[in-house]
Amino acid sequence: MDEKPVLLIVTPHEEDRDVLSRYLKEDYEVLAAKDGNEALATMGSEQVDVAVVALDMPGMDGIELMTVMKHTETMSEIPVLAIANQGDHDSETNAVEMGATDFITKPYHPTVVRHRVRNVLGGHENEWRKALQSAQDQKIMEMQHSMERDYLTGLYNREAFYRKAAELMQTNRDVLYDIVYFDISCFKVINDLFHMETGNVVLNTAGFYFPTVVGDFGICARFEADHFVICIPDDKMDIEQILEGLDKSIQSLGINHNIRFFAGIYHVEDAFLSVDRMCDWAHIALNKIKGSYVTRYAYYDESMWEIMVREQTLVRDMEIGLYEKQFCIYMQAIYDLKHKRVVGAEALVRWLHPTIGTVLPAYFIPLFESNGFIVRLDRYVWEAVCQFIKEQKERFGKVMVPVSVNVSRLNFYNLDLLQYLLGLVEKYGLETWMLKLEITETAYMDEPEKIISVIKEFRAQGFSVLMDDFGSGHSSLSMLKNLPVDVLKLDMSFTHEAGHSHRVNTILKFIMQLSQELGMEVIVEGVETKQQLDVIAELGCKEIQGYYFSRPLPADEFMKVLEEQDEREKASL
Ligand code: C2E
Ligand code: MG
Ligand code: MG
């Protein structure tokens, strides 16, 4: 609907049309016709709210026009203001009989004209204003709705959720609420594997489901992508039931993929804190367990906040750390039990952070694996290790011990990995046997065929390949047969249980036998005590790595260990 009422001026006199139009155009949308026929044509095609009609017109005069209007259904309700010549009482009388509501006479006075037109519209104008008002209200509501809603699911969007949840919690102060943040693990995979539309169906299904969970007591929103958030009274929140119901709705779609929602929960203690922060906390809790096999939900606690802040600091500082050589290489000796000597070492990285102090790999390797930085850090470590091996050659005239480096699984996505390693070996004048490659057990399970073929190429070039953390993950013993590795590094969880559990001893014995048959060496990791050492030795293990013999040492200290060993051995010759 237009903003102003429409007024039609019907008069053959151009100057009258101009004057009246000038006086009225501010309040009305003004149309003009120069005679009765043109007026009828206009009223037939346009919505006209009021007509100002000259009585004296050639052809169809004003009275005739009003007669036709009166008998035409679509025009009969249009109020008419007649333009009479001053003193023409007959015409005035006729006009009134024909239904004109009022007159204006020349010369026109702007205030009088405006006043009369307004009066004539009178009740009509009120109706019109009401209609306009309600149309505007409707439009505002529609706009509001579209501004507050997520276009796909119709749930609230993020901003609306922040507002509505605050309102809800602050008005029902005797109720305790939870903010629950949901997210699908690897939603992108669903979009990639199937089709965007399949992804949308999943989201819409969740979009139908969440309102049934919160009912009239809570609210729900989709923030973006697969992130859904609900605000729900604590006594109505049964997270396991919610996830179960969600699983059922998603499973009913029959998509051939394991689609799993995870949830992070923030229990609201102060309804006046910003909902934005509450959602962040729920999200932090979610990120702790997302992708896990066993846990589907977690409650936020304050330690998570500290962890997140620390992680953000590490990610912020990683580039500068690499540039400023804050990453240092430690070496941990690998001992041969029979000959009682160091036969190898593993390079382990430490971050000497300028403000936090020494940071162990457990705090930054998983982070760098998730953001890809590990590939650059690994290459930095390998290069430093090659330099260390070269120094051994220079100092002892030979390489006393080969050094193992850890090769994060992300490296396997770089097609030039082998060439890169060969290039490094050449650059430092080394041979491939001097640098050993440790690959963690879980990497083998990602894409076994691909990894196996890469490993074969490494070995063909003379690199030894070690399977790290064997037994920690999901490997099966039968998998061993298919793995073309030189050495198994037994995870320390075995070591720590050896001697205490008959079952573990049996498994260890079996692994030793099998690896011998398959021509693989075994290194037992994490030997801390004499007792553990004895049990391990009894089981037939030849090489060990653990605190019992040596902790990881800075590279130059480890070099001293090698020097001492060299001197000892020279002396005993
Ligand atoms: P890993 O490769 O299995 O390395 C052995 C870990 O066990 C080292 O932890 C070592 O300090 C620790 N360890 C050795 N002996 C004992 C013992 O007797 N008892 C106990 N409790 N622990 C022992 P660290 O240095 O903290 O490294 C942890 C993990 O971080 C490594 O496990 C490896 O997976 C990863 N990592 C370390 N350096 C690098 C690196 O340069 N690149 C990559 N990609 N990963 C690395
Ligand atoms: Mg290792
Ligand atoms: Mg290990």
pLDDT digits (tens, 9 = 90+) for 366-425: 889 888 999 999 999 999 999 999 999 999 999 999 999 999 988 988 889 999 999 999
Spatial distance between the Cα atoms of 413 and 404, rounded to a whole number of angstroms? 21
pLDDT given for residue 99 in this prediction:
73
Domain boundary among 106, 141, 176: 141
Specify whether 120 is located in the same domain as 170.
no
Which of 118-132, 207-221, 471-485 shows the highest mean pLDDT? 207-221
In a domain, 464, yes or no: no
CATH code, domain with 197: 3.30.70.270
pLDDT given for residue 179 in this prediction:
97
Spatial distance between the Cα atoms of 118 and 137, rounded to a whole number of angstroms? 24
Which of 42, 21, 29 has the alpha carbon at shortest distance from 132? 29
Say if residue 273's pLDDT is above 70.
yes
Task: State what percent of residues in the chain have pLDDT above 90.
Answer: 58
Are the beta carbons of 550 and 512 closer than 8 angstroms? Answer: no
Specify whether 73 is located in the same domain as 164.
no
Q: Residue 493 Cα, ligand 3 centroid: separation in angstroms?
A: 10
Residues 6+ apart with CB under 8 A from 292: 262
Ligand 1: residue whose CA is nearest its atom 13: 526
Which of 82-86, 291-295, 337-341, 369-373 shows the highest mean pLDDT? 337-341
Q: Stretch 445-462: mean pLDDT, rounded? A: 88
What letter does residue 108 receive in the DSSP assignment?
P
CATH code, domain with 14: 3.40.50.2300
The 3-class secondary structure across 347-411, one letter per residue, is EEEEEEECCCEEECHHHHHHHHHHHCCHHHHHHHHHHHHHHHHHHHHHHHCCCCCCEEEECCHHH
Which of 90, 12, 1 has the alpha carbon at shortest distance from 49? 1
pLDDT band at 123; cut points 50, 70, 90: low
Task: Dump pLDDT digits (tens) for 218-254.
Answer: 999 999 889 999 999 999 999 999 999 999 999 898 8
Q: Residue 378 Cα, ligand 3 centroid: separation in angstroms?
A: 16
In a domain, 276, yes or no: yes
pLDDT given for residue 127 in this prediction:
67
Among 406, 472, 491, residue to substitute to test ligand 1 (most atoms within 8 Å of Cβ):
406
Atom number of ligand 1 nearest to Cα 528: 18
Give residues (CB < 6 A) around ligand 1: 332, 348-349, 360-362, 365, 374, 378, 381, 406, 408, 438, 440, 468-469, 492, 525-528, 545-547, 552
Q: Residue 566 Cα, ligand 2 centroid: separation in angstroms?
A: 25
Q: Residue 348 Cα, ligand 1 centroid: separation in angstroms?
A: 6
Say if residue 515's pLDDT is above 60.
yes
Say if residue 567's pLDDT is above 60.
yes
Among 318, 322, 335, 348, residue to substitute to test ligand 1 (most atoms within 8 Å of Cβ):
348
Q: Stretch 29-48: mean pLDDT, rounded? A: 93
Domain extent at residue 493: 486-551
Atom number of ligand 1 nearest to Cα 440: 34
Specify whether 523 is located in the same domain as 493.
yes
In terms of DSSP bridges, do strands 435-440 and 357-359 run parallel, antiparallel, or are they unpaired? Answer: unpaired
Specify whether 11 is located in the same domain as 125.
yes
pLDDT given for residue 97 in this prediction:
74
Atom number of ligand 1 nearest to Cα 368: 44
Domain boundary among 110, 141, 172: 141
Among 371, 439, 444, 525, residue to substitute to test ligand 1 (most atoms within 8 Å of Cβ):
525
Ligand 1: residue whose CA is nearest its atom 19: 526
pLDDT given for residue 105 in this prediction:
83
Instruction: Write the CA distances from 505 to 72, 338, 528, integer angstroms.
Output: 105, 21, 17
Q: Stretch 112-140: mean pLDDT, rounded? A: 75
pLDDT given for residue 300 in this prediction:
94
Specify whether 179 is located in the same domain as 258.
yes
Specify whether 130 is located in the same domain as 165.
no
Specify whether 66 is located in the same domain as 137.
yes
pLDDT given for residue 111 in this prediction:
87
Specify whether 162 is located in the same domain as 277.
yes
Say if residue 474's pLDDT is above 60.
no
Q: Stretch 9-31: mean pLDDT, rounded? A: 93
Across all residues in the chain, what is the average pLDDT? 89
Which of 91-100, 232-241, 511-520 shows the highest mean pLDDT? 232-241
Query: Could you tell me which residues are beta bridge partners of residue 307?
Result: none
Specify whether 66 is located in the same domain as 186.
no
